[in-house]
Amino acid sequence: MKCIIFVNRIVTARSLSYILRNLKFLNSWKCGFLVGVHAGLVSRKSTNIILEKFRSGELNLLVATKVGEEGLDIQTCCLVIRFDLPETVSSFIQSRGRARMPQSEYAFLVNRGNLRELNLIEHFKKDEAQMNEEISLRKSHTPITDFEEITYKVDNTGATISSILSISLLHRYCSQLPHDEYFNPKPQFFYYDDADGMVCNIILPANAPIHQIVSSPQPSTEAAKKDACLKACKALHEVGALTDYLLPEQDDKYDESSEELCDSDGTDEDESRAELHEMLVPAALRKPWREVENSTYFYSYYIKFCPNPVDRAYRRFGLFMKEPLPEEAGKMKVDLCLARGRMVMTQLIPSGTARFDKDEIAAAEMFQKMFLKIILDRHQFIPEYVSLENNDVYELSSSTCYLLLPVIQHEDDKISVDWTLVNRCLSSPIFRHPGIGGGDETSQVKNYLHLANGQKSVHDVVNSLVYVPCKDIFFFISDILPEKSGYSLYNDSKSHVEHYTEMFDIHLSYPDQPLLKAKQLFVLDNLLRKKKHSEEWREKEEHFIELPPEICQLKVIGFSKDIGSSLSLLPSILHRLESFLVAIELKEKLVASFPEGAEVTAERILEALTTERCYEHFSLERLEVLGDAFLKFAVGRHLFLKHDALDEGQLTRKRSNIVNNSNLLKLATRNNLQVYIRDQSFEADQFFAFGRSCSISCNKETEKTIHPRSYDKKNSANAEVRCNKCHHWLHNKTVADVVEALVGAFIVDSGFKAATAFLNWLGIEVDFMRSEIDNICSASKAFLPLADQMDVNALEDLLGYKFAHKGLLIQAFVHPSFNNHLGGCYQRLEFLGDAVLDYLITSYLYSVYPNLKPGQLTDLRSVSVNNISFADVAGRWSFHKFIICDSSVLRETMTKYVNNIGSSATGKGRIEEKTCPKALGDLVESCMGAVFLDTGFDLNHVWKIMLSLLDPIISFSKLQMNPLRELHELCQSYNWEVQFSSSKRDGKFIVEAKVDEGKVCATASATNISGKVARRMAARQLSECLKAQGYKSKTKSLEEVLRKSKKMEAELIGYDEKPCYGTAEFGGLKLLENSQSDHDVKVYALSETSTSKSRTIPKPIRDRPFAHEASEFHNIKSNDYIIDSPDIHLTNGCDADPQGTGASLTVSAKSRLYEICAANCWKPPLFECWKETGPSHIKEFIFKIVMEIEELPNQIFEFYGEPRMRKKDAAEHAAQGALWYLKQEGYIWDKKLDR
């Protein structure tokens, strides 16, 4: 039984649901509530979950607002209760219809004696009866017309659109194309009479993938319009502009899968969302030693200490492991930062193997347990007896397995364990069980001292560890001071005897004993932390104090202060070694998957895995900036080539869905990258090794208790607890940042090919085919008729580059408002150029300013890569004079803005006084996109043009920070709050900025037709006002930072791809001579002869007709030279990447034909859909190829393929026929056929 209770208010639904859930006598009812998504209480996803639970029976009582009155189809619902009466008859009928089962009931709850409510119910019933009666008596007098609506259906989804609905869909599609105030995209309809009826000609906006659609003749104008619109929708779907659901392309599969990550916490996004992840412990540190033989061999590494200054003594130590370290880790170097600016340079030196017998292994294990207890759990040494026995049978398998032991250094960096020292420390009385007497140790010794725990030999006391109960402190005893006793002055006025009597109420029984020279036991610290600039280097003697012997308890004999100095360094070294080994493991995993990344170093991988929270000398943030730019570039290039029918907005959305943090998180966790991330600074109490295993055992049952979600996010590094599985909280954004940093690591050390291979391994497709570039370059010929609209030669001279495909340059300056040609505009090139410039400028900043902090690097990039900066550049290079548009307002606005740039010599904010037309900055991006395409993706060429074109930006001669950013930084320095208020009057925005904090009160206002510009102007004025009052930001400005920063030579980082020179005429370069394809086709010039087989120049197919002969020639050719089943197949791809782009290439017959033409300096072949055959629902296409050979003037070759269901297949078949003919006639040679 299922029941729905309808209420009118959201608060009623929530409250009633809560009450019903908590009534014990209704425990058989499982209640939930359903409210509208727009209420902000629930997401669409959670609403669907509630409905699915109600439908499945997991919930059987639902309290719903009127959102549940329509469309809620639960067949098993048998009871509907109106807690609040319906407000309309429609609501009454709709809610009653939710009771789907036969014999179901519908009940009202009314207040007893409330006549108004009872009358309202009667009114509802009468109205319902009246409507039923009218329906039963209604009879249509309209004659039935035999009209069959034409529809278009998508088979895989079932989505269907009719001809009448296609009109609104076409308008909707056009309205969502990218537009600005100078361009309103909408379809244009033209009609003309034909012999067979009325024809509608639709002209779509310039930035649509299809420019023109013509209807078939129809009996009326309206029918022709519907027919044309339906054809347009079908064509848009076929090219991918409409989805398989016949909707404009807005989102893709990535958005749906990442919904859970994005539907809440919208203000902090992924930054505030964290998940619990396991942290990998490297395999090299998990190899235990087994007691299966009398002896065991260990790989030994000498830990070399080089202090600066040399003001401390350090005991030599060695690292002993069952398995050898990787070569990079075995020679690891680490610089440790000590107090007062002191440094210790450390290095691991491989020292061969060492043999331990069973007794030595036991001694080594106890020695390590001993010093770990001393430095980390010293309170365990306060009792008189300390056990070093192994009480944890699982300790060896659950801990990192290595031994740290004092060593003696020999020649050739060989070491041996100092067993004398080890055994002397372990012979200390504190390790003897109280029941086992050790005898009178001082009975035969003359030199002894009275200590708090008895008489002890002077030899045992010196270089030992003692505990002073009255101070609760451990000390190293370095020497005896025979010249001083208890009667010596403690300070200027008191002796030691007086001091301990007054302070601790201790009366010294042996005041004549010499004092002990002692140094306090250190507190273990993180020595990997960043060195603060305020810490000046200064040499200072060690601090010692004087202690009376009788207040000291002897703990460990032979445990001298030089051992302590070394032990203070070792945990930090081992922590770094663990992180370094994790980086090596990840490197080996990645290199095994794609060998292109073999050159990346483990140090670079470690940098990419280390977050700023580790507080080390390096972090992932600079690499992340570089990787983010490359990711945007690589994905943008791939999408640009793959989706040639998508507009700029659709391409931008697709790229965003791929490179956003949610998708990167999903891909990273799928490939288990999160376990390698280092996101915690080294904490001494979290250091675990053999001898000190983690006592917190974590499993699925205890996980939530040990690692609660309500931890302190601001101090999470200190709040987290380390368990035996090394769980730690990771922000979702951190995981995504690591992915971008790894991309940057591969770029810096290995180049584009390795970064591309990493993205492919991760699951981000960035490959492309050379034929895709050829197709776009060839398609640019459609813009050549517009050459008379602009001075192409002058523009090429301005850029310093001659285009091989002039159409690309013309397209880069066609504004979408210009619609008097065959369609197309600069917006797609703008999308490509934006990605190219973003990476080039990021590479420039990364290489020129190596010491800039990541945040400063990001600030500089945001200052450089923005539309205002590009508009400035376009104005200085007079790009606005070349734009092709139909908007006089746009031309006028551009001219005014450029003139304003020229007159802005004084006043920093003058440029913003006029609204910057976005189209002006777009021209720079589209122009760079055109150069990038025309050079065959040669970034080196674009780099050189960029350096000269964008010099005013990248030289930062006029650095303009965002005024809003400047104002907020200034206010943050004084904990002020800035307030903005805006209003609109006479079509202009008036923005007021105000700071009112006690003694400081300042306001500024600005007016502009753009609200954003007005806000920036107000922020700048307020900043200048506050600065005039003497307030300055406490952080250094970017100008000051750049003046003091070290500047290096600019470098295009990582570019190792070979340009696709086949897309243009580059000096007659014969690309195919080195091809490794299965069909290695060698191209001969028409005057050449093959060395392996005599070939004659065949006669041309037919003389080329003149213009007046074209129609006659076409009729003749219509039945001739149709190639049937050519004996050449080139669609299997190639074995290698001949251009070395790092991208996977598939060489089709069409692509090979382009290559042959380019290699021989022939004009590219012209592909044309020559004929369509068959009925509309099973159409077939026949393609024609027209080729011209430069060496044979006035000659033309035409090739026709067989009918195919898809245009792509038809073009490919025609290309196969062309290759077959050229091979048979000797124009090309396939060496496999001549073996």
- The predicted structure's pLDDT at residue 1109: 32
Rounded CA-CA distance 1080/1155 in Å is 12
Given its phi and psi angles, is residue 151 left (phi above 0), alpha (psi -120 to 50 degrees) or beta?
A: beta
**One-letter identity of residue 610:** T
- The predicted structure's pLDDT at residue 1218: 87
**One-letter identity of residue 153:** K
Structure-block tokens of residue 838: 């973003």
Rounded CA-CA distance 462/459 in Å is 6
Contacts of 902 (CB under 8 A, 6+ apart): 875
Contact assessment for residue 620 and residue 743, using Cβ atoms and an 8 Å cutoff? no
Instruction: Characterize 1207-1224 residue by residue with b for buried, 16 or more Cβ atoms within 10 angstroms of its Cβ, and e for exposed.
Output: bebbbbbbbbbbbbbbbe
Rounded CA-CA distance 963/912 in Å is 11
For 617, other C-beta atoms within 10 Å of its C-beta total 13
Contacts of 509 (CB under 8 A, 6+ apart): 450, 550
What does DSSP say about strands 77-82 and 2-6: parallel, antiparallel, or unpaired?
A: parallel
Reference 304, options 253, 271, 345; nearest CA is 345
User: 3-class DSSP state for residue 940?
Assistant: helix
Reference 1157, options 1076, 1089, 1098, 1071; nearest CA is 1071
- The predicted structure's pLDDT at residue 141: 55
Contact assessment for residue 1167 and residue 1205, using Cβ atoms and an 8 Å cutoff? no
Given its phi and psi angles, is residue 413 left (phi above 0), alpha (psi -120 to 50 degrees) or beta?
A: left
Q: What is the largest CA-CA distance in the chain?
A: 133
CA dihedral sign, ordered 842, 844, 845, 846: positive
Helix H or strand E encompassing 561: helix 561-567
Contact assessment for residue 291 and residue 364, using Cβ atoms and an 8 Å cutoff? no
- The predicted structure's pLDDT at residue 15: 92
Contact assessment for residue 381 and residue 430, using Cβ atoms and an 8 Å cutoff? yes
- Kindly list the distances between the CA atom of residue 649 and the CA atoms of 63, 254, 655, in Å, as whole numbers in the listed order: 42, 16, 10
User: Could you give the dihedral angle defined by the CA atoms of residues 432, 435, 439 and 441, in that order, rounded to the nearest 10 degrees?
Assistant: 30
DSSP 692: B
Q: Which of 360, 740, 925, 966 is catalytic?
A: 925
Structure-block tokens of residue 853: 């902090």
Helix H or strand E encompassing 360: helix 358-376
Structure-block tokens of residue 936: 């065959």
- Taking the chain (1235 residues) in runs of 10, the rounded mean pLDDT of each run is 89 90 86 78 78 85 84 77 87 81 86 86 86 73 58 91 93 90 89 89 90 92 94 92 85 39 38 69 82 80 92 92 92 89 91 91 91 90 84 54 92 88 93 65 67 91 94 94 91 87 91 93 86 51 88 94 94 92 94 92 94 87 94 96 89 93 93 88 79 71 64 47 71 92 95 95 92 89 90 92 93 89 87 95 91 82 82 89 91 88 52 69 95 94 90 69 80 85 84 86 86 85 87 75 82 90 38 32 34 35 31 32 40 38 56 79 84 75 85 77 84 87 71 41
- The predicted structure's pLDDT at residue 625: 93
Rounded CA-CA distance 483/102 in Å is 109
Half-sphere exposure of 1132 (CA within 13 A, CB side): 8
Contact assessment for residue 945 and residue 930, using Cβ atoms and an 8 Å cutoff? no
Contact assessment for residue 477 and residue 463, using Cβ atoms and an 8 Å cutoff? yes
Q: Which of 834, 872, 1057, 1212 is catalytic?
A: 834
For 33, other C-beta atoms within 10 Å of its C-beta total 26
User: 3-class DSSP state for residue 412?
Assistant: helix
- The predicted structure's pLDDT at residue 270: 44
Half-sphere exposure of 637 (CA within 13 A, CB side): 28
**Radius of gyration for the alpha carbons in the chain, expressed in angstroms and rounded:** 41
Rounded CA-CA distance 620/653 in Å is 27
Q: Which residues pair with 345 in a beta bridge?
A: 306, 335
In the residue annotation, 834 being an active-site residue is answered as yes
Reference 464, options 563, 368, 381, 388; nearest CA is 563
Reference 384, options 435, 338, 423, 341; nearest CA is 435
Reference 512, options 540, 476, 548; nearest CA is 548
Contact assessment for residue 997 and residue 974, using Cβ atoms and an 8 Å cutoff? yes
Reference 457, options 561, 547, 554; nearest CA is 554
Reference 469, options 387, 547, 545; nearest CA is 547
Structure-block tokens of residue 907: 């006043």
Contact assessment for residue 456 and residue 440, using Cβ atoms and an 8 Å cutoff? no
- The predicted structure's pLDDT at residue 99: 79
- The predicted structure's pLDDT at residue 534: 43
User: 3-class DSSP state for residue 365?
Assistant: helix
Q: Name the pTM for this structure.
A: 0.71
Going along the chain from its start, the domains and CATH numbers come out as 2-137 (3.40.50.300), 170-250 (3.30.160.380), 284-433 (no CATH), 448-567 (2.170.260.10), 611-762 (1.10.1520.10), 770-938 (1.10.1520.10), 1065-1234 (3.30.160.20)
Rounded CA-CA distance 762/326 in Å is 25
What does DSSP say about strands 448-451 and 454-457: parallel, antiparallel, or unpaired?
A: antiparallel
Contacts of 1104 (CB under 8 A, 6+ apart): 1188, 1194, 1195, 1196
Reference 210, options 831, 830, 822, 886; nearest CA is 822
For 27, other C-beta atoms within 10 Å of its C-beta total 9
Rounded CA-CA distance 1126/1124 in Å is 6
